[in-house]
Amino acid sequence: MRSHLFSVVMGLTIAGALAASPVRAVPNDEIRRVFSQFIAVQNAHDIDGVRKILSDSPDFLWILPGHVVRDQRAALDGLRELFKTKWHVDPDWSTFQVQGLDVSSAEIFVRVSISGDARIRIAQLNLVLVDTPRGWRVLSVVFSDLPRT
């Protein structure tokens, strides 16, 4: 009887603690701001601006069609080369979606058009952002080409 009572009291204590702890939703406005900044620094061809937004985690990943980069330095080296050419990324804000993965990570889904060299490329852009002590940072980037409609 005493053991059963103890179990019930402990269960209620744990349930109460969980109910009292604040559940923080992913801040969609902040995620949108970081994404806007990510697009702006790319369009400005600002390598230092991009570096500040990218995560320096060993789990960093950047995937382009036919190309996979597994660390921030390699991604920045690739961007440095791309920044020598003229191009511009425009998000289709009507397709912008944020999916909270947990309280400290979120995934963004958005279609973008990339213009440069007199042609326009349409792509699906997926980013995973993580909340760090320095703010939200991009942990992974995946560009998938889409057929032009």
Confidence bin at 52 (pLDDT 50/70/90): very high
Please give the mean pLDDT across all residues of the chain. 83
pLDDT in tens, 74-105: 899 888 888 888 889 999 999 999 999 988 99
Residue type, 127: L
Task: Give the pLDDT of residue 13.
Answer: 47
DSSP state of 95: G
Q: Could you tell me the domains of the chain?
A: 26-145 (3.10.450.50)
How many residues belong to the chain? Answer: 149
Residue 28 CB coordination number (10 Å): 14
For 68, residues 6+ apart whose C-beta sits below 8 A from its C-beta are 61, 62
- Contact (CB, 8 A) for 136 and 57: no
Collect contacts of 132-135 with beta carbons under 8 A, ≥24 apart: 132/55, 135/34
- Contact (CB, 8 A) for 111 and 124: yes
CA distance 47 to 73: 11
**Taking the CA of residue 13 as centre, how many other CA atoms within 13 Å lie in the half-sphere pointing to its CB?**
6
Task: Give the pLDDT of residue 28.
Answer: 85
Which residue blocks in the chain are alpha helix, DSSP H?
A: 2-20, 28-43, 47-53, 72-82
Confidence bin at 133 (pLDDT 50/70/90): very high
Full-model pTM: 0.78
